[in-house]
Every structure is written in structure tokens, then in C-alpha cells.
Amino acid sequence: MSVLVGADTKLLVQGMTGKEGTFHTLRNRAYGTDVVAGVTPGKGGQDVEGIPVFDTVAEAVDATGANTSMIFVGPRFAAEAILEAADARIGLVVCITEGIAARDMAEVHAYLEGTATTLVGPNCPGVISPGLANVGIIPGEVCAPGRVGFVSRSGTLVYQIVYELTSRGIGQSTCIGMGGDPVHGIGFIESLALFEGDPDTELMIMTGEIGGDDEERAASYIAERVAKPVVAYIAGFEAPVGKRMGHAGAIVTGSTGTAAAKAEALESVGVQVARTPSQVARLVADRLTG
């Protein structure tokens, strides 16, 4: 099995006719994802290599039965694109766009609480269920089907760690790049809950980074609700206090949000925390064979 995306995914792409949208749409289709539509206002009736383009998400859903959206709309209009997808009853929205204002995302977050739409992102690499569907920019060639669920704040760490897992013969059920912005959709807790409920996920990996308290809250959730083994990595053990590193949410203030504090919280509930990305695959291999 898989979570979020799979064989039943019918994907539409908002902003498909732009350079990045077209490139990644065609890569997702080549991987095997069922890409059924694109949406670009004013370009309805056109197509991109046989994929029909519609003016609105509602029109695309009515015509194709799309249930998932991937967003490549620019940051100024991306929040509105998310809301449009939710209003059209899209079940899963994966927003790749970076640079969306935090205030805009706060309004989106509040709005989605009253809907059945799940948001991944923004500023994320997307979601892949190896062998079934790829919705985003994760390179499918480094992935392999298997029984390890993976959720990460960092897209780059998804690519590296998945490559090392696959190189060791360890496949993945689903990999979720949740994004590193301060205000985002699905997070560690929601992802861990999905993997805990997936009978074909045997072990979970979570990779976090400095800033915020997502990892500490995940530790509390693991202690109370998670029975499957979890391996983690936290980026930023050497990060200086007060300096943002990479993502907008990756900044340490005072004594909170440090990699050491996050690792301590996770280790206190039985999670093995790697000190380097390369160590993650070794810890996973040991847990699966032990």
C-alpha cells in the first residue's frame, strides 16, 4: 500500500503551462502518474502533449475526475490556487511553490480546517509512492518500492537519504516532503499517523531541522500513539543561534529549537537519532534486520 498518492491518483497541475510546470508534469507522467489535466486561466482548450488545459480547477475536476492537484503557480497567486483546489473538493493539494507570504499561508491554513482537503507544502518537493505515483519534484529514479515510510522538512535530505536507502536494497512505501516554511500543511504528526495506519509500512523515518517545535511535538505523539519503530535525523547541530539556515522556519532563538534539544526529545521516547544523513540508512538497516 501507500499513503496520500498511489494507483488511484488522478492528477491535475495548476500552472502546468509554465516552464517548470510543464517540465515536472511530463516527468511525473513519464514515471507513471495518471496526469489528467492542467489548469491555467485563459488557456482553456489548449493541451500540453495531449494533457488538456482548463481555465478553472472546477472545470478540470468535472471533466476528468481529478482528485489531486500539484501547484506551480507563482507565490503571489499560489495561496488563491490552493483555495480554488479546496473549493473544487480536491482531496490532496501538493504546493511546490516557494516564497508564499506567511500571512497568506495562515489564511489558507485556517480555511482548510473546514474542508476535506489535505495540503502538502508549500515550498516542498512533493510526495512519491515508489512504483505507483510521483506528485512533485522528487527524482523517481532514486526511489524503490518497499516498507519504509519517510517524512522530511528538507527536500534535499529526501533525495540523499532515499538514494542511500535504495542503494542498500531498502525500499520505501511513501516519501513525503512536507516543506520547511513556518506555516505549512501536513506535518510530522499527520504523516506518522498515516504510516502507523498503513499495514505495509514497517518502519518510519523523519528528518527535521532547527527551528520551531515540530520535532518535539512529534516526539510526544510518538510516545503516545506510535508502535512502529522510528529513526530520525535533525539537520543543524552546528548551526549558530539567531542565524537562519536554509528554510524560513530554520532559525534558533535562545535555547529552543536546537538540533540537540530536538534529538534529546526524540531519543527520550525511543527514537534512534542519526548524527549524519549517511547514518540514517545504517540505522534503518540494523532495525529491519535486528
Q: Active-site residue numbers?
A: 247
DSSP structure class, residue 141: G
Q: Which residues contact 50 (CB under 8 A, 6 or more apart)?
A: none
DSSP notation for 209-249: ESSSSHHHHHHHHHHHH--S-EEEEEE-TTPPTT---SSTT
Kindly report the three-state secondary structure assignment for every residue of 41-58: CCCCCCEECCEEEECCHH
96 vs 102: CA distance, rounded Å: 15
- Give phi and psi for 284, each to the nearest 5: -65, -45
* Cα Rg of the chain, angstroms: 18
Residue 238: Cβ within 10 Å count: 8
Instruction: Quote the CA–CA distance of 96 and 125 in Å, as a whole number.
Output: 6
Sign of CA dihedral 159, 13, 248, 91: negative
122: preceding bond cis by omega (within 30 degrees): yes
